[in-house]
Structure 1
Amino acid sequence: MTEILDRPPTSVRHSARDIAVALELPPPTPEQAAVIEAGPGPLLVVAGAGSGKTETMAARVVWLVANDLVTPDQVLGLTFTRKAAAELSARIGKRLRGLERAGLWTPPADDGTGAEVLGGTPTVSTYHSYAGRLVREHALRVGIEPEFRVLTEAGAWQLAAESVSRWDGPMDGMTRSEGNIIDAVMSLAGEMAEHVRTPAEVMAHLDEVLARLEGLPDGDGRGSLTPAKDVLGVLRERRLVLPVVEAFLELKRSRESLDFADQIALAARLASTMPQVGQIERDRFTAVLLDEFQDTSEAQLTLLRSLFHDPAVALTAVGDPNQSIYGWRGASATTLLRFPSEFAGPQGPADVLPLSTSWRNDELILAAANVTAAPLATAHVQPLTARPGAGPGTVTIDRLESAEAEAAHVAAWVAARWRSPSGRRTGRSAAVLCRRRSSFPLVIEALRAADLPVEVVGLGGLLVTPEVSDLVAALWVVQDPTRGDQLMRLLSGPVVRLGAADLAGLWAWARELHDRPAGPGRHGADLHEGELATRARARGDPAAS
């Protein structure tokens, strides 16, 4: 069994409040103090939006280090994005330097060689990066070369396309295009990896479901079984795709390649079947922070439970089921709700503590948020409460007749707060949330018309510009010639500018060329150019003369 340190928990010298005072930080709330000062063992922290979870996680590390319960290099922090990992790492590092200046902790002495000092650096990374490191260190245990190639999404798509083009098995009843089949192969392979399932297991389950649906008796009334028949059609096509998925996985193995989902699944397999892997990790890390736990998948839950389900490990998972955003790739907020039972010990389920004070919003905004989130209420989730001294806040609802009027109203609202009556900048900022990306251009245009600077977060703003949309359409057509929607954008847009009559003529001419065999001395390309020129002259186009 892993020990945190020889010092027993009763040797705690510094409280969370004492450390905050020494670092000249605001004192923690009672909820935060309970999380910071929790002992070893698994702990779930249900942290609402704006409740200071990152600060509390950093404070927990500082408290453990200040009381000699762990050394910094025994700390592992995992989150989903490199940005979040960098923020958590920077905050922990800043607090540890403050701890040293306050005289509450002395880091290991530098030996003068310039080498990294052992015991001085926490490890903070993304879940996928950590899984990749585990696989590289232990891949040989399951017969995989540690120098495998990590596939990008484009590289994985190429292998999936190769698997589909090579497939010569039965596909009777398949109505999807080749491009859609490739997407289905990618999607199914990723979902199976995130749920730690094999193609054989999914095939067996699908066969059972199909047999039950096909055995349904006729319902009362015409069309009563239409929904079941629609489901049957979808599941039959999915069943046809599964052998192609199996071929795709085998092709990746033969090329010694893994994508990100494969790394998580393989790491989970290693951790759950090789006890020595978990022991090595528990010897290395005795304090573990799991950020955004509501977005973990079944594979990640299996991995973390196999590695760190130990009463001697100070395992702290932080999350909010109301903020789960990665359901499209196998994540489920139920992993957070299952944490107490999945990490239960001899004394019962793992402890659960709340962080329910929001430091971000005023009272009325929180009241509206609590009412909106009420239908989503689950176990362990408490309504958000306002911080001490929070303002009353305002919530305004406006209904307008058109999208253009709505965008103009939003721009006027922001402008009235962006500038003072004298026209000087107030220093305030604003965020505009749109339900659909198609609303972006209207809002952007209205904000710019009000002489307001605009930054579109992510690629959404770039993708809606006409030039980039045309480029994306061209790339789609090159990759998948069956994408008629993208081809129509190119042909009818500013690049080619064909009208309805021209498009109809082009379609008829393309069909004629497709059906007409090329005879001796008759070259399709020359014929195409010559007859097109003849037709252009007939329309009076001077460029064809």
Structure 2
Amino acid sequence: MSLVHPDKWNVRDGIELEKTALDVTKSSTNNIVIAGPGAGKTELLAQRACYLLETGVCCAPSKILAISFKKDAAANLAERVKKRCGKELSRRFESITYDTFAKHILDQFRLALDKEYRPSKNYNILLKDNEIAEIADKYITNCYPDYPNWRNIIRRNSELSNLLCNTVLPLAPIKPEESMQELLNNAMWDILLRKMENGESSLTFPMISKLSDYLLRENPYIRKALGMTYSHVFLDEFQDTTDIQYSLLKTSFLESKATLTAVGDEKQRIMGWARALEGVFSKFSNDFSADTKRLVLNHRSSPKLVAIQNIISKNLEQNSIEVSVPDKWGELDGTCEIWAFESSEDEAICLADEVINWINTEGIKPRDVCIIVKQQEDIYGAAFKNRLAEQGVQAREEKEYQDLLSEEIVQVILNMIILAIEIKAPDSRKVVIDFLFYVNGFDENTKYQVLYEFEDQLGIFIADLNKKLIVFLNQLEKVLLNEIIYMIINFIDKSKIKNSFPQYSRGNYLDEMILNLIH
């Protein structure tokens, strides 16, 4: 593919960027971009990726690394880059989460860790506080009989998780006069790394980040290799970056030649409860000598809504910049109303009736309606969902599905099912074909005969899957759903999935995702 001279490169797909965004897109320095909702932060990163790849500023074999806080954000950015600059160039654009980034480092360079901190090859991942607590209850008394009353000090499961998060590696030697919290922290690392009865380590994602951070601090050669792999690094939704994640970021790239671009908005910082680092923009600016840029356009909201947002922003932050709207809006466009109710039940019923009215009279599809709740969505949502159900409209709480639906294996399973049911489903077919070609190592050099034979095999499988789905839809028995999911996994080949996606190659993570989908 021929390259474009930087002076002749144009923004892709007719997207309009304000001048500051365009300057950042073509910048050769570290930048932190502060922008509110609707300012086009993700689009800026997508266009910057196109500029770097299409002009050769990021030249092969160097790659661009984009790190997001959530899986769906990472997937969205990757898809946008692929759409903007094509499949070939987007192969050198890696869009992942902080957790995945840390796991890649640990999995690839695990053997470089001191034996004392080296987890087993097939370590398990602990996702919930109660999983850590169950291990502590089972092993601490046996492995550390001198701590019989530890539960009198550590009463809540979350306290164990916090202990692990607050760890500084390498661990200081245990001294009898230290506090029970410090003694227990060292004990838990010891147990989780080495003393599980099955011989397999069990780690939380913060532990994985800390081990990766420690590995890179101790091994400059690996740190150098990381810097040589990625010439540019993007950091999306940067305001939610935790102290642990920021430490890994600094260790990975502070002394490298990589150019970093961070985007976010301090006013959208909602993850303080999950250790989001306060003042992270200032720290990044100081540590990486980054220029601070601000975007002032809101492409998403109408003028009336932006006026309200400006008032709220001024109350939150006196020096907040006045945001404006692009010319596509009329001066009086937009509606903002405040509805007051006597109770949450009255509110839920009224809102549900309004949604039903939109569906019945305006033709809005149910899946295009999203209700944002400040807190306790399970309590508030019950009355709302019950009212919708009375009118034959189904609703679900998205939070519990969001991360699951962002998983590559879940996406391909669901699209495989759609393809089997609808037959003509071009979008699903593209997802399935791209996934299968990737795990099988097919590319433009693969012989046509091999591709044709594989297409035939897929057609036969889809027909068999269709028959199985018809039986399931008639009986709706869980055992049949279980058979369908594993029928798809076996067709793809579990070993190929693990070999192609590092996040599925260790421990039981892949099996957990499959079970979560079934249940």
Q: TM-score, normalised by structure 1?
A: 0.62
State the AA in 2 paired with 1:394.
T
* CA distance in 2: counterparts of 1:68 and 1:343, whole angstroms: 24
- 1:445 paired residue number: 386
Alpha carbons 1:199, 1:245 under 8 Å: kept: no
State the AA in 1 paired with 2:268.
Q
- 1:407 paired residue number: 348
- 1:184 paired residue number: 159
Alpha carbons 2:126, 2:203 under 8 Å: kept: no
Cα deviation 1:155-214 (Å, max 9, x = unaligned): 5443222244445446779756x8x3544222321x315xx467759999x98xxxxxxx
State the AA in 1 paired with 2:136.
A
Q: 1:442 to 1:152 in 2, by over 3 A?
A: same
State the AA in 2 paired with 1:408.
I
- 1:335 paired residue number: 280
User: 1:399 is paired with a residue of what secondary structure?
Assistant: coil
Alpha carbons 1:75, 1:122 under 8 Å: kept: yes
Q: Would you say 1:13 and 2:19 are equivalent positions?
A: no
Alpha carbons 2:224, 2:256 under 8 Å: kept: no
**What are the within-5 Å matches in structure 2 for residues 85-124 of structure 1?**
85-97=74-86, 120-124=91-95
- 1:418 paired residue number: 359
Q: 1:302 to 1:393 in 2, by over 3 A?
A: same
- 2:127 paired residue number: 153
- 1:138 paired residue number: 109
Give the CA deviation at 1:453: 4.2
Cα deviation 1:64-97 (Å, max 9, x = unaligned): 1222111365211111233222222222122222
Correspondence for 2:180 among 232, 240, 244: 240
Alpha carbons 2:243, 2:275 under 8 Å: kept: yes
Alpha carbons 1:71, 1:120 under 8 Å: kept: no
**What are the within-5 Å matches in structure 2 for residues 474-493 of structure 1?**
none
- 1:55 paired residue number: 43
**What are the within-5 Å matches in structure 2 for residues 86-485 of structure 1?**
86-97=75-86, 120-143=91-114, 144=118, 147=121, 149-153=123-127, 156-166=132-142, 167-169=144-146, 175=152, 180-189=155-164, 191-193=165-167, 196=168, 239-255=179-195, 256-309=201-254, 312-344=257-289, 350-377=290-317, 382-391=321-330, 392-420=333-361, 425-426=363-364, 429-434=368-373, 435-437=375-377, 438-449=379-390, 452-459=393-400
User: 1:357 is paired with a residue of what secondary structure?
Assistant: coil
Alpha carbons 2:103, 2:208 under 8 Å: kept: yes
User: 1:341 is paired with a residue of what secondary structure?
Assistant: helix
User: 1:325 is paired with a residue of what secondary structure?
Assistant: coil
Q: 1:124 to 1:399 in 2, by over 3 A?
A: closer
Cα deviation 1:260-283 (Å, max 9, x = unaligned): 111111122223343222211111
State the AA in 2 paired with 1:147.
K
Paired-residue identity, %: 21
* CA distance in 2: counterparts of 1:290 and 1:92, whole angstroms: 15
Q: TM-score, normalised by structure 2?
A: 0.65
- 2:439 paired residue number: none
Runs of 4+ with deviation above 6 angstroms:
171-174, 201-204
* CA distance in 1: counterparts of 2:344 and 2:17, whole angstroms: 45
Number of residue-to-residue matches in the alignment = 383
- The gaps in structure 1 that reach 5 residues or longer are 1-6, 101-106, 108-118, 208-238, 345-349, 462-545
Q: 1:172 to 1:74 in 2, by over 3 A?
A: closer
Alpha carbons 1:419, 1:425 under 8 Å: kept: yes
- 1:75 paired residue number: 64
- 1:523 paired residue number: none
Point out the structure with max Rg over C-alpha. Answer: 1
Q: 1:298 to 1:64 in 2, by over 3 A?
A: same
Q: 1:50 to 1:32 in 2, by over 3 A?
A: same
User: 2:39 is paired with a residue of what secondary structure?
Assistant: coil
* CA distance in 2: counterparts of 1:130 and 1:139, whole angstroms: 14
* CA distance in 2: counterparts of 1:203 and 1:292, whole angstroms: 41
State the AA in 2 paired with 1:66.
E
Q: 1:148 to 1:326 in 2, by over 3 A?
A: farther
Cα deviation 1:452-508 (Å, max 9, x = unaligned): 4433313399xxxxxxxxxxxxxxxxxxxxxxxxxxxxxxxxxxxxxxxxxxxxxxx
Alpha carbons 1:46, 1:319 under 8 Å: kept: yes
State the AA in 1 paired with 2:301.
N
Give the CA deviation at 1:309: 2.6
Alpha carbons 1:42, 1:311 under 8 Å: kept: no
Give the CA deviation at 1:451: 5.1
- 1:46 paired residue number: 34
Give the CA deviation at 1:425: 1.6
* CA distance in 2: counterparts of 1:455 and 1:407, whole angstroms: 14
State the AA in 2 paired with 1:88.
L
User: 2:96 is paired with a residue of what secondary structure?
Assistant: strand
User: 1:75 is paired with a residue of what secondary structure?
Assistant: strand
State the AA in 1 paired with 2:399.
G
* CA distance in 2: counterparts of 1:307 and 1:418, whole angstroms: 50
Q: 1:316 to 1:94 in 2, by over 3 A?
A: same
Give the CA deviation at 1:146: 6.8
- 2:466 paired residue number: none
* CA distance in 2: counterparts of 1:160 and 1:382, whole angstroms: 50
Alpha carbons 2:132, 2:157 under 8 Å: kept: no
Give the CA deviation at 1:243: 1.9
State the AA in 2 paired with 1:404.
E
* CA distance in 2: counterparts of 1:454 and 1:147, whole angstroms: 41
- The gaps in structure 2 that reach 5 residues or longer are 196-200, 403-519
Give the CA deviation at 1:120: 4.6
State the AA in 1 paired with 2:49.
V
Q: 1:200 to 1:341 in 2, by over 3 A?
A: same
